[in-house]
Structure 1
Amino acid sequence: MSATKILGLVRFRNLRTRLTVVYMGLFGLALLLAAIAVVTAVTNSAQRVVRDEMTAAGAVYSQLWTARSSQLQQGAGVLAQDYGFREAVATNDEATVRSALDNLRARQGVDGALILGVDGYATTTGLALDDAALDRLFTGLESGQIESGVLAIDGQAYQVVAAPVNAPVLIGWVVFAERLDAAQMRNLEQLSAIPLSAAVVLNRVSAPTGDGPITVRTPDGPSMRLDRPLPSFDKAAPADLVLTYPLKRAMRPYEALFWWLAAIGVAGLALLMGGTWALSRGLTRPISALDEAVHRLQQGDYVEAPVTSADEIGRLAASFNAMVGDLRDREARLTHMALHDQETGLPNRLSLERQAAAQADAWVVLFGVDRFEVVRNAIGYDSMARLLAALGGRLSALADGAPMARVGAGALGLVIVAADEAEAVGIATRLAEAAQAPLMINGAPVDIALTAGVAGRGAASSDLASPVDRAAIAVDQARAARRMVAAFDEAAYGDPGDNLSLISELMTALRDGDVTLAYQPKYDFRAERITGVEALMRWSHPRRGFVPPDLFIGMAEETGHIRPLTEWAIRRAIADQKTMAAAGHVLTVSVNISGRLLSDESFADFALAEVAASAADLCFEITETAVMDNPELALHIIARFAEAGIAVSLDDYGAGLSSLTYLKQIRADELKIDKSFILGLDQSSRDALLVKSTIDLAHSLGLKVTAEGVETPTALALLRGMGCDMAQGYLIGRPVALALLTEQLAAPVVELDLARQA
């Protein structure tokens, strides 16, 4: 693995340390490579010297061996050719033989001498041969292949030479033996220029080294070894002259050099570390300052890095400072955009919420511009933006300079400090009244009217914890109550989140039978009896209890679930009508149809098919305003109902913006006067006049009239006198379940009591 890869695996927290370590690592690597090269070169040189010396010593030893062998052979040959000695050998004159051998052994300086006869008998002097050695010697000489070599006697190596004794035939051999012991080896070692170790090895196990020395492992470490094979009288046990020299002895003269190299390397590393540290410190100080500035910038602190030089680092710091300035300006612009309305330049909702969150006793006052869309369409979008900006300035001035924020399309808000809700409402009322003066826009006065909502913080766990949301709802509540200022009424607002789950629960209730129909009777003045009933939905929730129809029917209309609800009501009403007929009560059943279904041809097909299949006597009650969304299609569907024999009743007449145009166009059979006129009939002459004129108008158009909300006998009598056709209300009967209605209709006293009251 390269140094670069090794350094890449190390993680540094600062550049200064990294530079120091990298440079030291590279320098150390260079020193290491140089040291390896020097040591390798020195070692190779020392080994080469030792190899040459050992090769030379081996050659010298070989020459000495040959010379000594020749010398001994000459001495033995002289003795073997002596006539008297040959005669003594031939006559077995052992004393003469032994005397001659001793004399010659002394002159030659050998350790032992002997005469070996061809019969294997030996006469020795100075040396005793064991039988094994004598057998090897005799075998070698008898073979005629060796006369000089190594012979092992009692485990000790001897240089042995022999000369034949002929008289005139071979009768034996004169043999000299010289011990190759440690003293002899030291004599050989002293002949070398280097302190070699010499030894004669018998029964060699390892392979010979050949012509040159080799490096081997020894207990003292690596050594050079040279093997010189010697002739041996035992072919099965070769003999070698082994020269060894420990390499550490050859390297000893260079140890001082190596120590000096190591000292120089350490000193160089230390100097490099100091120099690199100082250099890197100068280089990394501005970089560290730039890094610190970047971290502080990341935390939102716009600081500039010091520019300490004109080089690349200095230019980088200058560029960074320019970037910081641009970021500061850009963030200021983005912050302004995030907290201000782009059309008016006023603070926005987020700004208002921050102001409200910053004060514990803060109250949010929202001012809604009444008829905002009408005014905007009249003066244009740009002029409306200028109007809101001017209105915001006026309200801010009236509120002692409090910042005014634009919260919605036509809503402005500010934060006030008040001790309680009453004080906050009082401040809001004063501001709203004072601000409703005309504003000059494009040189023309524009009248404005304001509705204000006041709210404080809600519970943290509430969906409406934000005072801005609560104030916006308070504006709607004020408009619904037709008041200028209103505080947020949490009880009136209820729990819309919980109400949203009603729709899915309503569909389940339809399947489980928790939704039922209650029937309210309708009294016929001319027949003087109950001739019809209105089907009204009732839902008993297992957790909420009784759920008002206005709540779940209105939500069903908004969420698109009104059709399955109405289809169920039609089927249920048809089935209940058959039950009442079977009990002897033939009544017309009125079912309310949502205006959203009057633009649905497929619903009309369903309703007509159900009525046709059951021959039911139904009346569909619709509101007059139901035809406003799609008048052409709604009038077409109503006409289809009329042609199929289904009576159509205009419900809640007079409660909305009644139109004679629609009254003329709708093919209706009945007109139901809203209960708001009937409840005050016996107390208000204006209501009586309106009811009488409505009855006359309906009769003129061929419509029957039903009055809702009849609760007193006086109202019933007045309606009879005005020519009203039918009455419906608590006096006639409350909405009840089918079984109870059947029981009530079975009692004739009901008809008699109503007739008597009328």
Structure 2
Amino acid sequence: MRWHRLENRIVALFIILILLVQLAGFIAIRKAIDENARASIRDELIIGERVFLRLLEQNADKLTQGARLLASDFGFRQALGTDDRETITSVLENHGARIGSTLSMLIGTDQRVKASTQAYPSTDLQRSALELVGKAVATNGASDTVIVDDNLFQIVAVPVRAPVIIGWVVMGFPVDKKLISDMRALSSLQVSVLVSTRAGQWQQDISTLAKPESTMLMSQLPQSPAGNSFIPQLSIADNDYSARLLVLAKGRNNQSAVAVLQRSISEAVAPYRRLQLILLSISIIGVIMAIFASAFVARRITRPLRALADIAKRLGTGDYRARIDIKGGDEIGKLADAFESMRSGIANRELEIRRLAYWDPLTDLPNRVQFATLLNTAIERAKTTGGQCHILMMDLDRFQHVNDVLGHSFGDSLLRQVGRRLEQQLERENDKVARLGGDEYAILLPATDQVEAVRQAKRILSSLEVPLSIDEQTVDLGAGIGIAGYPENGENSDTLLSNAEVAMYVAKRRGSGFTVYEPSIDKSSQESLSLLSELRRALDRNEFLLYAQPKVDLASGRVVGAEALVRWMHPEKGFIGPDNFIPFAETTGFIRMLTSWMLGKTAILCSELQRRGISLKFSVNLSTRDLLDQDLPQHFADILARNNLAPSSMCLEITESAIMDDPVRAQLTLERLNAMGVELAIDDFGTGYSSLAYLKRLPVDELKIDKSFVMNMEHDADDAKIVKSTIDLGHNLGLRVVAEGLETLAVWNLLRQMGCDQAQGYFMSKPMPGDRFIEWLEQWTPPEMPSQSENMAI
């Protein structure tokens, strides 16, 4: 039998329960029978005790009557009167033989034995006879049970009157087999009469038991019983008995005579054995019926459960087609209904999950997972045929701006239209379009070489030049496309997707429309990522260096300040320019740590110069992330306090684009810095997209003209006009104007003539390490200023 099966366990449970119930009932009944039998035996022994004592009493009455008959015999009294002892002895023997007496004697009024059937009566007999005679004086006769020579006797004493008492007749009758046989016949009890010897050992007198059993009985009795008692159990041979012990006589030397009434427990229980056999038979029949009934019930229960288990296995393998047709109003039927509901629900959800897993819910195009599967299939087919396959990965331009201005709902509609337009550009049935996420799309071109892939990319870019119209809104979109192909750009889908994405971002950065992947592109990206991962370690290893570029007053030629710059001296790659790591630092947020380092180092240099009596204003650039950091003002105040610097010792430079990313938060930060007394400057003015309305509200003190306008203004009249206009604008706003990119004396004079306040550039000095800045200050000599007439000529 396989116990792991529910059917077998149900059958076993039924059988075990029935057996336990039957066993419990059998034990209870057996215990009740045993208790009732023992109680009945106890009652029988009590009644048997009364019967036995009554038999002794009746036997004593009978003997007393026999003794009285002798005492009233005329011849016996005549022989007693003449003291004819031979006649007296003969009469005692003859009469005693007739009534069963084995001991007879005549005791005179002087308490002496006048005659006896024994030549020498025992001392025990004489003593017991004299004691009995003393009792008989008042009662006209007496009887007693005594021990004579280790045997039990009933003795009687009656007076001989003529008409006064002239003597006493004492006769002894042994307690014999007849008495206990009568007791056995009347009560069905086993009777044993035992007398203890002077040595304290029991000896058999008479018993209804066999000799061996009687011997076993004597070994289990107490040596000196104090009185009548009940013995619950005695084991004799193969039977158990309950017994009643009756003390019949007490002799000298602690001798005792007892009667043991025994009732066999087995015999008492025997009438109930048939009842137990009947109960056992009923139990067996009940177990057999239970086996068949439980097997039937178990099959009724487990058959539909097995069916449900098979269906569950099919569900586990993904087969949701089979319907569950188990009917019924019971719990199994309800369970089947629940299974059917679950099957239907799982099937529907499986379809939905499969759709979500492999299809983009917005555009109903394949998603990244399905595209990777399709690409792997195309690669395997290309491996088999020795052909090629290519993918195009496309990312839309300015889509985030569309989302921000027109809303996400409009953006979703735009993505759907772009997906449909891309599908319209496919020329073959096996070509597939997928949406990878956000505004990224991919096009699979199986069995296509690079020339055809480039042609298809140009076709797609050309289609996107046609504006998209949604809800009466027209949107112009561009895109960047990356091209990668098997086998030249990768052997699997992951590699091809990764390389196509790298090429796509290069195309967007270059604005070239599309780019075919080349290993050199990836190498450059890896180098950038490597540098990015080393930025934090560079700060811990003190690999960054503080550089400074002086700022001079154009009117006097005096050095009035310097711009603090950062450089990176890599232990393996050598000198790394800021353009190679600052953008990545801004992208990752590391720029905040770098700015904090710059502020600290610049404050130390400024403090050292002040201790030498040189008071200069140092400028430090702030990034967009720095302006959004609301803790920057307090942090900067702590740096100034540590170096004993006044806020006016520093000028913080910000770009127009940094302000425009989040004007509200940027203005809050700038206002807090301005309230501290720190001067603020707008850097690279003219290259951003700032609004003059914003500039009007900003608490700035300085305007820096970008070097792209300054460097060629000597030869480009348009640049000169822009610089002049910017200087006038700054002065009209009450700002100090600083020109960047001053590289020649002629440009110096032009800026001076235009009224520009300060300048910095290679004409004065390139950026130099901070420790060399003091040495440069000592060697700086301003250029000779032109005369007034020269200025007029210029």
Q: TM-score, normalised by structure 1?
A: 0.72
Distance in 2 of aligned mates of 1:54 and 1:637: 115
- Correspondence for 2:396: 369
1:280 partner amino acid: A
- Correspondence for 1:387: 417
Distance in 2 of aligned mates of 1:253 and 1:307: 60
Q: Say which is worse superposed, 441-450 or 140-149, in terms of deviation.
A: 441-450
- Correspondence for 1:697: 725
**1:716 lines up with 2:739 in the alignment:** no
How far residue 197 of structure 1 moved from its aligned partner, in angstroms, is 0.3
Distance in 2 of aligned mates of 1:384 and 1:592: 39
Q: Say which is worse superposed, 723-732 or 97-106, in terms of deviation.
A: 723-732
- Correspondence for 2:283: 265
2:67 and 2:158 in contact (8 A); partners too: yes
2:191 partner amino acid: A
2:64 and 2:156 in contact (8 A); partners too: yes
Change (3 A) 1:558 1:81: same
Encode CA deviations 1:641-681: one digit per residue, 9 max, x unaligned: 99999765442345444777778887654534336985xx6
- Correspondence for 1:7: none
Distance in 2 of aligned mates of 1:153 and 1:696: 164
1:114 and 1:122 in contact (8 A); partners too: yes
2:107 and 2:114 in contact (8 A); partners too: yes
SS at 1:651's partner residue?
strand
- Correspondence for 1:480: 509
- Correspondence for 2:739: 706
Change (3 A) 1:389 1:479: closer
Which residue, out of 3, 8, 17, partners 1:17?
8
- Correspondence for 1:76: 67
SS at 1:151's partner residue?
strand
**1:244 lines up with 2:254 in the alignment:** no
2:231 and 2:245 in contact (8 A); partners too: no
Which residue, out of 125, 134, 154, partners 1:142?
134
Distance in 2 of aligned mates of 1:236 and 1:73: 28
1:308 and 1:314 in contact (8 A); partners too: yes
SS at 2:262's partner residue?
strand
**1:199 lines up with 2:228 in the alignment:** no
Encode CA deviations 1:421-465: one digit per residue, 9 max, x unaligned: xx99877644432223148767999764321346899xxxxxx98
Distance in 2 of aligned mates of 1:643 and 1:671: 22
- The aligned runs of 1:449-598 (5 Å cut-off) are 449-453=478-482, 475-486=504-515, 487=517, 489=522, 492=525, 517-522=546-551, 531-537=560-566, 573=602, 576-583=605-612, 585-594=614-623
Gaps of 5+ in 1: 1-10, 458-463
**1:614 lines up with 2:665 in the alignment:** no
Distance in 1 of aligned mates of 2:26 and 2:653: 110
SS at 2:261's partner residue?
strand
How far residue 696 of structure 1 moved from its aligned partner, in angstroms, is 3.5
Change (3 A) 1:248 1:526: same
- Correspondence for 1:176: 171
Distance in 2 of aligned mates of 1:588 and 1:25: 100
**1:67 lines up with 2:32 in the alignment:** no
Change (3 A) 1:174 1:662: closer
Which residue, out of 146, 149, 152, partners 2:147?
152
Q: Say which is worse superposed, 217-226 or 358-367, in terms of deviation.
A: 358-367
Distance in 2 of aligned mates of 1:669 and 1:255: 123
How far residue 248 of structure 1 moved from its aligned partner, in angstroms, is 0.9
2:399 partner amino acid: F
Distance in 1 of aligned mates of 2:569 and 2:338: 73
Distance in 2 of aligned mates of 1:573 and 1:77: 154
**1:218 lines up with 2:234 in the alignment:** yes
Give the aligned length: 712
Encode CA deviations 1:514-551: one digit per residue, 9 max, x unaligned: 87743223466765675532122467899999887668
1:673 and 1:705 in contact (8 A); partners too: no
How far residue 246 of structure 1 moved from its aligned partner, in angstroms, is 0.7
Change (3 A) 1:50 1:572: closer
Q: TM-score, normalised by structure 2?
A: 0.70
Change (3 A) 1:143 1:190: closer
Encode CA deviations 1:295-352: one digit per residue, 9 max, x unaligned: 5435644264664766755686466445523431233124324543333222334544
How far residue 74 of structure 1 moved from its aligned partner, in angstroms, is 2.3
SS at 1:341's partner residue?
coil
Percent identity, aligned pairs only?
26
Q: Say which is worse superposed, 649-658 or 228-237, in terms of deviation.
A: 228-237
1:188 partner amino acid: D
Distance in 2 of aligned mates of 1:435 and 1:341: 21
How far residue 614 of structure 1 moved from its aligned partner, in angstroms, is 3.2
- The aligned runs of 1:663-742 (5 Å cut-off) are 669-674=702-707, 678=711, 691-701=719-729, 702=731, 704-708=737-741, 715-716=743-744, 719-720=747-748, 722-723=750-751, 728=760, 732-742=764-774
1:434 partner amino acid: R
Q: Say which is worse superposed, 161-170 or 278-287, in terms of deviation.
A: 161-170
2:129 and 2:157 in contact (8 A); partners too: no
SS at 2:363's partner residue?
coil
**1:277 lines up with 2:295 in the alignment:** yes
1:480 partner amino acid: R
SS at 1:404's partner residue?
strand
Q: Say which is worse superposed, 52-61 or 403-412, in terms of deviation.
A: 52-61
- Correspondence for 1:341: 360
Q: Say which is worse superposed, 104-113 or 26-35, in terms of deviation.
A: 26-35
**1:112 lines up with 2:140 in the alignment:** no
1:76 and 1:174 in contact (8 A); partners too: yes
Gaps of 5+ in 2: 196-222, 381-388, 487-492, 787-794
1:115 and 1:174 in contact (8 A); partners too: yes
Change (3 A) 1:39 1:524: closer
